[in-house]
Amino acid sequence: MAYKRGALIVLEGVDRAGKTTQCKKLVDALSQCGHFAELLRFPERTTEVGQLVGSYLEKRINLEDHTVHLLFSANRWEHVPLIKDKLNNGITLVVDRYAFSGVAFTSAKEKFSLEWCKQPDVGLPKPDLILFLQLNPMEATKRGDFGNERYENSSFQERVLHRFFQLMEDETLNWKVVDASKNIEDLHKEIRSLSEDAIQEAQDKPLGELWTEE
């Protein structure tokens, strides 16, 4: 079969775990060894929906909590045609945050269940690999103070982390937890090796759907 699709690789983790640093290094390394690889991030603030989300995060506007959750999800859905197109053309996508951040952050707020938060993202392209960059809050603090965006405070981040652990209990997903306290190069090598394996495995398998019964 000539069908060789790209892999959907997602990096998740608490704030300052090193996601953006590692996403960029991974795309560069994969490209250099002959893979087609591209970077994507959520929220993607360049679309109209993304601009609303960006304004909310930068505290320039306030939005009702359910509304903003649905906007974060819409921002992923509006990129689904592009994601499928790239993967079908053999391009591996390295994604800086995805539905898991969306669910972990909203469900860390009062009165939001994990189940309710997952619903809008049910059926999104299912990642072939989700790398969770694990870093304890003390280590994260050493990497600089929180910025001024919404959600950037340590008690909220603790609640987010707890929700991530609940999401990781789902064995239908290929979660790999990596120790983000390692130095940038060592962590990169580990992430690269896990990604190479995922690319090999994904190429002959159809793309799945997130959080649907299989």
Ligand X SMILES: Nc1ncnc2c1ncn2[C@@H]1O[C@H](COP(=O)(O)OP(=O)(O)OP(=O)(O)O)[C@@H](O)[C@H]1O
User: What's the distance, CA 153 to chain centroid?
Assistant: 20
Residue 27's identity, in one-letter code, is V
Is position 17 an interface residue for ligand X (rule: CB under 6 A)? yes
Q: What's 125's DSSP letter?
A: B
Is position 28 an interface residue for ligand X (rule: CB under 6 A)? no
Instruction: Pick what 121 binds: ligand X, Mg ion, none; C-beta below 5 to 8 Å, kind-dependent.
Output: none
Is position 184 an interface residue for ligand X (rule: CB under 6 A)? yes
Nearer to ligand X, 47 or 181 (CB): 181
- Which pair of tokens denotes residue 82? 């592009």
Beta carbon of residue 183, minimum distance to ligand X (angstroms, whole number)? 5
Is position 141 an interface residue for ligand X (rule: CB under 6 A)? no
Is position 44 an interface residue for ligand X (rule: CB under 6 A)? no
C-alpha–C-alpha distance, residues 204 and 84, integer Å: 15
Beta carbon of residue 150, minimum distance to ligand X (angstroms, whole number)? 12
Is position 20 an interface residue for Mg ion (rule: CB under 5 A)? yes
Give DSSP secondary structure letters for 125-190.
BPPSEEEEEE--HHHHHHT----SSTT-SHHHHHHHHHHHHHHHT-TTS-EEEEETTS-HHHHHHH
Task: Please say whether the beta carbons of 100 and 81 come within 8 A.
Answer: no
Is position 18 an interface residue for ligand X (rule: CB under 6 A)? yes
Beta carbon of residue 157, minimum distance to ligand X (angstroms, whole number)? 10
Q: 82: helix, coil or strand?
A: helix
Is position 47 an interface residue for ligand X (rule: CB under 6 A)? no
Tokens 């959520």 sit on residue: 42
Is position 21 an interface residue for ligand X (rule: CB under 6 A)? yes
Is position 188 an interface residue for ligand X (rule: CB under 6 A)? no
Nearer to ligand X, 47 or 141 (CB): 141
Beta carbon of residue 42, minimum distance to ligand X (angstroms, whole number)? 11
C-alpha–C-alpha distance, residues 12 and 130, integer Å: 7
Is position 148 an interface residue for ligand X (rule: CB under 6 A)? no
**Among 6, 8, 13, 125, contact with ligand X (rule: CB under 6 A):** 13
Give how far Cα 19 sits from Cα of 61, 67, 116, 174, 211, Å.
26, 26, 26, 17, 23
Q: Which residues bind Mg ion (CB under 5 A)?
A: 19-20
| Binding stretches for ligand X (CB under 6 A) | 13, 15-21, 143-144, 182-184, 187
